[in-house]
Amino acid sequence: MTDLALGVDIGGTNLRVGAIDPSGELAARRSVVTPAGAGREPAAAGRDLVSVIVDTAAEVLADAGGPADARVPMGIGFAGGISRDGRAVYGSNVSTRDFPLRDEVSSRLGHDHVVVVNDANAATWGEFCHGAGRDAGDLVMATIGTGVGGGVVSNGNLVMGSQGFGGEVGHMVVARDGWRCTCGHRGCLEAYASGSALARHATALIDDGGSSLLQQIGDFTPADVTWAASAGDDLALAAIDRLGGWLGIGLASLVTLLDPDVVLIGGGVTEHIGGWLLPAATAAMQGQTFAGEWRDDPEVRLAALGDRAGMIGAADMARRAAEGGMP
Amino acid sequence: MTDLALGVDIGGTNLRVGAIDPSGELAARRSVVTPAGAGREPAAAGRDLVSVIVDTAAEVLADAGGPADARVPMGIGFAGGISRDGRAVYGSNVSTRDFPLRDEVSSRLGHDHVVVVNDANAATWGEFCHGAGRDAGDLVMATIGTGVGGGVVSNGNLVMGSQGFGGEVGHMVVARDGWRCTCGHRGCLEAYASGSALARHATALIDDGGSSLLQQIGDFTPADVTWAASAGDDLALAAIDRLGGWLGIGLASLVTLLDPDVVLIGGGVTEHIGGWLLPAATAAMQGQTFAGEWRDDPEVRLAALGDRAGMIGAADMARRAAEGGMP
């Protein structure tokens, strides 16, 4: 019991808390709706968030049979920019701005074994320690959800960067002046390889004269494309193939720059279309990687931990920090 | 004297050897023509290279007043792919293939304080330890020469990757299916931001109807563009601006992924046009970096060590290795 650590994953939609043992197994978990704080002052939104984290963590610790007053390390992954001193600088879907999340949680818990990092970095670390990257020394991960996130482990160290903003795989440029991205720029990997891009690729194929079950749906969504692909719709499958091709180009840049031995593809979208995406992305990656004829291609795999990766990675980081290690 | 280390920089054209003190100063240096080994068997070319390295190093040590029989650590930067165990897998302009460079040099020297790495990684490490990146914690460098090289330092560690092929900044994709690159692929940063690309940009501007001094030269070279820019030719200056814009897009991907505090631009081309390139690249980088409004922009600077960076970095790595540190 005393070896449990808490992992918190603050996503745009759900806030997940797990009590996690040293082998990465969840002893208990709960999920609540993320208090997005719409209409609240940024600081008040931050305090609401802290309350939900602390209360849910106490419940999860009780579920796991742990003592309520224990100084259990807590790692928090947050969907947004986290500074090296644990401030939530901005949030993808939470209105908190430049909020001292680590210090406020620490103050409420009464101990300083609290670590806050970007959620995709936490998930990457989770897969590296306990998931599909367990055997890797150098790992890159791209997570395909509404957007594209990810992370980098170099020689066993998580790359967080000078300000804590490292690992934003989705906003590397793959096509200068290309498709508009949600970040406001153009040509980012996310614009071409996110779940949202799936409908864009299908639309482009229809505009090129293709025919599809999707044409019976007025304003189709990425989920509709996934459904159509499952029904054997060739155009939907071609859209997934295009997305995989773009993802592979992004992965090729990562491999060329970082030379990992393992590449992981994760995120909610891969739960549905990962089996189609993996070969398309791998082929495109291999075709574009620098000096491909001289190197062993990295293994490209699907992530293994699903929506637990962020909790597991954050908890591991907090455990190490409490023991005087990273980060 | 006993504190000297040898740094060897095997470029496509010149092979430089320096005897370097712990503060990064050169006590002596020599430069010879790189034995490219054209027409030689790859293994024979490798042995020729080893002989030139060992003989030149002995001369440089003598120049520096060092004892000929000392077990002076030697670091070697090689223009090509170097495996983690010091094999020269392929060379950019040297016909050696899969040659055990480290072990052969080590055998000739009679000691094993020999380190072999990619030349651009060595130069990046040199700038990090003793050059324009001395104050950085997280550094990226792009070197603009005939091609585009570079390297990455993350949290004080040189990113070499699982096979030793990390840091190939020039072959990240900036425009899928774009201009052809010397590596055989399309759309690499090198295709748009190398010295060779300078003439391409000028040609494109002329094809778009621009007029230039360059039109008086039949088949103009990148050096001609530099000359025309120095003479105030607007089109040549615009070509440099375009190159800088593309370089900035590549740097934006690096900053988005790695969040460095310092970005360096080096390489032979910057000695001539660095003053024009730096502002163009910086502006384009800042315009494309993810979450730019929430972060401090990294400082973008010109590299400081010129053609000594590779020798200095390689020597430092060998010194550390001899003392039991990296790599």
Q: How many helices (H) and strands (E) does chain A have?
A: 9, 12
B-chain residues near A173 (CB < 8 A):
174, 249-250, 252-253, 288
Tell me the Cα Rg of chain B: 20
B-chain residues near A252 (CB < 8 A):
173
> Tens digit of pLDDT for each residue in B35-48?
877 788 888 889 99
Q: Which amino acid is at B126?
A: G
Is there a contact between A259 and B163 if contact means CB atoms under 8 Å apart? yes
Q: Which residues contact A93 (CB under 8 A, 6 or more apart)?
A: A11, A12, A13, A34, A36, A79
Whether pLDDT at A21 is above 70:
yes
Whether pLDDT at B129 is above 90:
yes
Rounded average pLDDT over B309-318? 98
B294 touches chain A (CB under 8 A): yes
> Tens digit of pLDDT for each residue in A303-315?
999 999 999 999 9
Is there a contact between A288 and B162 if contact means CB atoms under 8 Å apart? no
Give the nearest partner residue to B291 out of A154, A165, A295, using CB atoms. A165
Question: Apex CA A304: angle with CA A300 and CA A306, to 5°?
Answer: 120
Whether pLDDT at A2 is above 60:
no
| Alpha helices per DSSP H over B1-83 | 42-63
A122 touches chain B (CB under 8 A): no
A-chain residues near B290 (CB < 8 A):
165, 168, 171, 183, 185, 188
Is there a contact between B161 and A258 if contact means CB atoms under 8 Å apart? yes
Whether pLDDT at A279 is above 80:
yes
Which A residues 67-106 touch B at CB under 8 Å? Answer: 81, 89-90
A160 touches chain B (CB under 8 A): yes
Is there a contact between B90 and A294 if contact means CB atoms under 8 Å apart? yes
Q: What is the Cα–Cα distance from B249 to B183, expressed in whole angstroms? A: 20
B295: its two tokens: 């972060």
The distance in angstroms from the start CA to the end CA of chain A is: 24
Closest Cα to residue B198, out of B231, B235, B232?
B235
Task: Give the residue carrying structure tokens 């997570």.
Answer: A143
Whether pLDDT at B2 is above 60:
no
Whether pLDDT at B1 is above 60:
no
Query: In the prediction, which pLDDT does A31 show?
Result: 97
Which B residues 126-145 touch A at CB under 8 Å? Answer: 136-138
Q: What is the Cα–Cα distance from B200 to B194, expressed in whole angstroms? A: 10
Is there a contact between A260 and B161 if contact means CB atoms under 8 Å apart? yes
A261 touches chain B (CB under 8 A): yes
Whether pLDDT at B131 is above 80:
yes
The separation between CA B104 and the C-alpha centre of its own chain, rounded to angstroms, equals 24
Cβ atoms of A139 and A260 within 8 Å: the answer is: yes
Whether pLDDT at A263 is above 50:
yes
Give the nearest partner residue to B155 out of A157, A252, A298, using CB atoms. A157
As to burial, measured by CB atoms within 10 angstroms (0-12 exposed, 13-18 middle, 19+ buried), residue A12 is middle
Cβ atoms of B290 and B297 within 8 Å: the answer is: no
Query: In the prediction, which pLDDT does A68 show?
Result: 65
Q: How big is chain B, counted in residues?
A: 327
Measure in Å the smallest separation between the Cα of B202 and chain A Cα atoms: 19
Query: In the prediction, which pLDDT does B68 show?
Result: 65
Is there a contact between A162 and B261 if contact means CB atoms under 8 Å apart? yes
Q: What is the Cα–Cα distance from A267 to A146, expressed in whole angstroms? A: 9
A299 touches chain B (CB under 8 A): no
Q: What is the Cα–Cα distance from B305 to A16, expressed in whole angstroms? A: 50
3-state secondary structure of A297: coil
Is there a contact between B165 and A246 if contact means CB atoms under 8 Å apart? no
Measure in Å the smallest separation between the Cα of A294 and chain B Cα atoms: 7
Whether pLDDT at B173 is above 60:
yes
Query: In the prediction, which pLDDT does A54 show?
Result: 97
The pLDDT-based confidence of A1 (bands split at 50, 70, 90) is very low
Q: What is the Cα–Cα distance from A4 to A21, expressed in whole angstroms? A: 5
B153: its two tokens: 């330092």
CB pairs under 8 A between A and B: 151
> Tens digit of pLDDT for each residue in B211-263?
999 999 989 999 999 999 999 999 999 999 999 999 999 999 999 999 999 99
Give the nearest partner residue to B173 out of A154, A174, A291, using CB atoms. A174
Interface test with B, best of A169, A253, A261, A326 (most B CBs within 10 A): A253
Q: What is the pTM of this model?
A: 0.96
Interface test with A, best of B162, B261, B285 (most A CBs within 10 A): B162
A74-83, A92-101, A226-235, B299-308: least confidently modelled range: A92-101
Q: How big is chain A, counted in residues?
A: 327
Which A residues 239-258 touch B at CB under 8 Å? Answer: 246, 249-250, 252-254, 256-258
Q: What is the Cα–Cα distance from A205 to A212, expressed in whole angstroms? A: 9
B166 touches chain A (CB under 8 A): yes
Measure in Å the smallest separation between the Cα of A221 and chain B Cα atoms: 26
Query: In the prediction, which pLDDT does B164 show?
Result: 93
How many other C-beta atoms can be found within 10 angstroms of the C-beta atom of residue B293? 7
B181: its two tokens: 């690159």
The pLDDT-based confidence of B283 (bands split at 50, 70, 90) is very high
Is there a contact between B175 and A176 if contact means CB atoms under 8 Å apart? yes
B-chain residues near A295 (CB < 8 A):
81, 89, 163, 165
Measure in Å the smallest separation between the Cα of B54 and chain A Cα atoms: 27
Q: Say which DSSP state A8 is in.
A: E
> Tens digit of pLDDT for each residue in B48-100?
999 999 999 999 999 999 776 678 999 999 999 999 999 999 887 778 889 99
Whether pLDDT at B114 is above 70:
yes
B179 touches chain A (CB under 8 A): no
The distance in angstroms from the start CA to the end CA of chain B is: 24
Query: In the prediction, which pLDDT does B176 show?
Result: 97
Query: In the prediction, which pLDDT does B325 show?
Result: 77
Whether pLDDT at B167 is above 60:
yes
Whether pLDDT at B150 is above 80:
yes
Interface test with B, best of A140, A157, A186, A258 (most B CBs within 10 A): A258
Whether pLDDT at A196 is above 60:
yes
Q: What is the DSSP string of A264-275?
A: EEESHHHHHHHH
Give the full edge-to-edge strand order of the sheet including A14-20. A26-33, A14-20, A5-10, A74-78, A114-118
